[in-house]
Amino acid sequence: MNNVRTAAVVGLMLWVAGCAAPVEEPMPTSSPADAANPFFFANSLPYDLPPFDRLDDSHYLPAFERGMAEQLEEVEAIANDADAPTVENTLVALERSGRLLDRVATTFFPLIRSDTNDAMDATRTEVAPRLAAHSDQIYLNPALFARVRALHEQRDSLELDPEAYRLVEKYYTDFVRAGAEMSAVEQDRMRAINAELATLETTFAQNVLGEVNASAVVVATREELAGLPDDQVAAAAEAANARGLEGQYVLALLNTSGQPSLAALENRDLRERITRASLARGTQGGEFDNRQVVADIARLRAERAALLGYPTHAAFVLETQTARTVQAVTDRLASLAPPAVANARREADDLRTEAAAGGTQLKIGAWDWSFYTEKVRAARFDFDATELRPYFEMDTVLTDGVFFAASQLYGLRFEERPDLPVYHPDVRIWEIFDADGTALGLFLADYYARPSKRGGAWMDAYVPQSGLLGTRPVIVNNLNVTKPTAGEPTLLTFDEVTTMFHEFGHTLHGLFSDVQYPYFAGTSVPRDFVEYPSQVNEMWATWPDVLRHYAVHHETGEPMASELLDKVLATETFNQGFATTEYLAASLLDLAWHQLRPDEVPTADGVVAFEATALARAGVALEAVPPRYRTAYFSHIWSTGYSAGYYSYIWSEVLDADSVEWFKEHGGLTRANGDHFRQTLLSRGGSREAMELYREFRGADPDVRSLLARRGLN
């Protein structure tokens, strides 16, 4: 998942695509506190890496406040410039504006996702509506819009290079979609909606993190954990000790509906308890209940879309995506749902048969699926997924797998930088060099779960690339791997390995960015295109030459046996009915919420019923296969920028699957192939239409048959 745009939190803003660059001279300070604030001084660190070792929670709000004030002064000067508008004195000036705000925003928002605390949460609550208002002051400035509109009207006569021409078009579109053409009364209502949404989306995110920590399952005895690997039992005991529950065990929850421990735990009652705790999050009353928050967000988004002249929020969002229309997305998902559900039902039959063979007659519940899936896998392929973990030691996977694939494809070299400051002891930093020795940027790896980190996996950019500003990328990847006890190795599941490759695909997209304007940097592409390069990078996790290089036993150093490797590859389409159905259920749920008109949004008490009805209407309401995310903890769509866009993963996978075929046809893991992908697509950011870039890389339109074959749905 990609989170490079802080717009995911506070709405599309001019400063979002900017970079954190050093200030030429120390800025004037007005108090002793200001004198100690690193944001107010030049940054001497390489690549403008945030000075994590000198940052204090008290530094953010003053920097936000001064940054907003400075940018508004700059914007007023641009809007009231006596000279006729040009790209240079209007759009380039806007791209250069708000440098202080860039610095604090591109530090604060990635950091609050990775390692928040009460003080930072309070700052986020305080600043979110103010940032929304700040954005409105820019986009709803009539004098500024007049200049942007004039450039748009004249764009064909300005003799612009393609990137500058696109910049004119994108700025104009953004102003219009922000309400620049509305009446004054409508703009006032838009301002109120945006401020309220910013607060609600912040509340939603904080509730999800609060409840995922509060809902951790406490287990009294070691016997109840039968089947769970010893290292995970030890981690559960350590988690209990941290909560003052000595002698007990705590199983922390991830933000997904399903939980990793369900595949191993033999105690069915405990599996059911974990599942019910996971699925109930956000709907049980109390301080973390998100039902009213969801209803309010959905209603306000629908109202905003109507103000802008769109029938629904989904129609508003999809207009600027590669899909373009709700109908296009609906048709794609509708074509995939029936075969996925049919496969899931067949898989459920196999699970029942497997349980019966073991002497247990039961109706498969959501808490049984992963457990019996592993038994079917073992019987069908003579393969137990837990056999893989000793071969997937985290550091080896990263350096000899992820980094190795990147070096083979793109000629990259990685040098760890323990001398640079980090925001948490678990974070590591590498400097990345191009094949010719040129320094490209910094990569931060933050892979362990902790209570201060939101769930899931994602990429953020602390500093995006820009030719205009002279900045090079600083990028972080986040996972949520359970940290082992001291001295023990970190052994990954195969899903975690794939996720590591996926997130590094986002890193490559940001690292190779070679654009002039901050607006187009790195992963600043349509939401339904942004997952495509990262999903392509997953292919190298199972590419034989790469897998053999990193899949070595953490104790003996022996490579994974070819027979086990063959079994890994043979199971790639296994359980895809379940995997596709849980994903489609979440995607269709997202679209159902965002196709509502304001008067159709249910009350808080109707949220759960609406979800059930939406899933049933879409044909994906399988009791044993809950959506990957249920409404009340669906962070993607309520707080991280994927509203009406969760379909993006499978939309992008059509491109991904077809691209994998291209790599195979052209020789696989070669520098020539990597350089072609980099030059035609990864380096272009959002500087051209996404599908134009795809066709330039692939030489043809995508073929959905590659995806159907991959998922066993053909």
Q: What is the CATH number of the domain that holds 516?
A: 1.10.1370.40
Same domain, 363 and 427: no
For 307, counting Cβ atoms within 10 Å of its Cβ (0-12 exposed, 13-18 middle, 19+ buried), the class is: middle
β-strand pairing of 474-481 with 439-448: parallel
pLDDT reported for residue 34: 80
Domain boundary among 279, 302, 321: 279
Same domain, 80 and 118: yes
* C-alpha–C-alpha distance, residues 217 and 194, integer Å: 37
CA 372 from centre of chain: 30
| Angle subtended by helix axes 607-618 and 576-593, to nearest 10 | 120
Please compute Rg for the chain using Cα positions: 25
Same domain, 561 and 470: yes
Question: 431 has which bridge partners?
Answer: 415, 442
Domain that residue 70 falls in: 7-139+141-177
Q: Is there a domain that residue 68 lies in?
A: yes
pLDDT reported for residue 707: 82
Same domain, 415 and 431: yes
CB-CB neighbours of 306 under 10 Å? 15
Closest CA to 450 of 257, 242, 638, 244: 242
* C-alpha–C-alpha distance, residues 171 and 95, integer Å: 10
Residue 358 is given by DSSP the state T
Instruction: Tell me if 484 sits within 8 A of 239, measured CB to CB.
Output: no
Same domain, 550 and 588: no
* C-alpha–C-alpha distance, residues 535 and 610, integer Å: 32
Domain boundary among 537, 570, 603: 570
* C-alpha–C-alpha distance, residues 508 and 461, integer Å: 11
Type of residue numbered 635: S
pLDDT reported for residue 29: 47
Report the chain (714 residues): mean pLDDT per 10 consecutive residues: 42 33 37 83 96 97 98 98 98 98 97 96 97 98 98 97 98 98 98 98 96 94 96 94 95 93 96 98 96 98 98 98 96 93 96 93 96 93 86 98 98 98 98 98 97 94 98 98 93 94 98 98 95 96 94 95 83 89 98 98 98 98 97 96 94 92 96 98 97 96 84 76
Upper half-sphere CA count for residue 662 (Cβ side, 13 Å): 22
pLDDT digits (tens, 9 = 90+) for 187-219: 999 999 999 999 999 999 999 999 999 999 999
Same domain, 25 and 167: yes
Q: Is there a domain that residue 714 lies in?
A: no
Full-model pTM: 0.92
pLDDT reported for residue 32: 66
* C-alpha–C-alpha distance, residues 187 and 179, integer Å: 6
**H-type helices in 447-526, by residue range?**
494-511
Residue 394 token pair: 């985290």
pLDDT reported for residue 31: 66
Closest CA to 318 of 585, 591, 599, 700: 591
Instruction: Tell me if 710 sits within 8 A of 572, measured CB to CB.
Output: yes
β-strand pairing of 249-251 with 439-448: unpaired
pLDDT reported for residue 384: 82
* C-alpha–C-alpha distance, residues 37 and 33, integer Å: 6
Residue 76 token pair: 């007023």
Q: Which residues contact 643 (CB under 8 A, 6 or more apart)?
A: 301, 313, 317, 590, 594, 637
* C-alpha–C-alpha distance, residues 193 and 182, integer Å: 14
Instruction: Tell me if 477 sits within 8 A of 444, measured CB to CB.
Output: yes
Conformational region of residue 445, where left means phi above 0, alpha means psi within -120 to 50, and beta covers everything else: beta
pLDDT reported for residue 517: 98
pLDDT digits (tens, 9 = 90+) for 504-524: 999 999 999 999 999 999 999
pLDDT reported for residue 14: 35
Upper half-sphere CA count for residue 405 (Cβ side, 13 Å): 27
Closest CA to 453 of 472, 434, 475, 481: 481
* C-alpha–C-alpha distance, residues 471 and 679, integer Å: 19
CATH number of the domain encompassing residue 295: 1.10.1370.10
Collapsing DSSP to helix, strand or coil, 622 comes out as: strand
Q: Is there a domain that residue 655 lies in?
A: no
Closest CA to 448 of 406, 418, 405, 477: 477
pLDDT reported for residue 30: 56
Domain boundary among 595, 611, 646: 646
CB-CB neighbours of 189 under 10 Å? 15
CB-CB neighbours of 594 under 10 Å? 24
As for how many domains the chain has, the answer is 4
Q: For this structure, is 393 an active site residue?
A: no
Q: Is there a domain that residue 478 lies in?
A: yes
Same domain, 375 and 414: no
Give the chain's count of helices (H) and strands (E): 28, 7
β-strand pairing of 474-481 with 458-463: antiparallel
Closest CA to 589 of 286, 211, 298, 194: 298
Same domain, 336 and 369: yes
Q: Which of 303, 354, 503, 538 is catalytic?
A: 503
Going through 267-412 in order, the beta strands assigned E by DSSP cover: none
pLDDT reported for residue 12: 34
Same domain, 562 and 593: no
* C-alpha–C-alpha distance, residues 458 and 481, integer Å: 13
* C-alpha–C-alpha distance, residues 124 and 61, integer Å: 9
* C-alpha–C-alpha distance, residues 665 and 651, integer Å: 22
Residue 30 token pair: 């007005």
Q: Is there a domain that residue 113 lies in?
A: yes
Same domain, 342 and 418: no
Same domain, 564 and 581: no
**Residue corresponding to tokens 């269709």:** 588
**H-type helices in 280-325, by residue range?**
291-307, 313-318
List Cα–Cα distances, 228 to 224, 236, 261, 267, 376, in angstroms. Answer: 9, 10, 7, 10, 18
Conformational region of residue 551, where left means phi above 0, alpha means psi within -120 to 50, and beta covers everything else: beta
User: 3-state SS of 128-167?
Assistant: HHHHHHHHHHHHCCHHHHHHHHHHHHHHHHCCCCHHHHHH
* C-alpha–C-alpha distance, residues 669 and 696, integer Å: 20
Closest CA to 172 of 154, 205, 188, 149: 149
Q: 3-state SS of the chain: helix, strand, coil percent to 5?
A: 60, 5, 35
Q: Is there a domain that residue 273 lies in?
A: yes
Q: Is there a domain that residue 519 lies in?
A: yes
CA 61 from centre of chain: 25
Same domain, 415 and 505: yes
* C-alpha–C-alpha distance, residues 702 and 684, integer Å: 19
Q: Is there a domain that residue 535 lies in?
A: yes
β-strand pairing of 413-416 with 249-251: unpaired
Q: Which residues contact 373 (CB under 8 A, 6 or more apart)?
A: 263, 347, 351, 575, 578
Closest CA to 528 of 675, 661, 636: 636
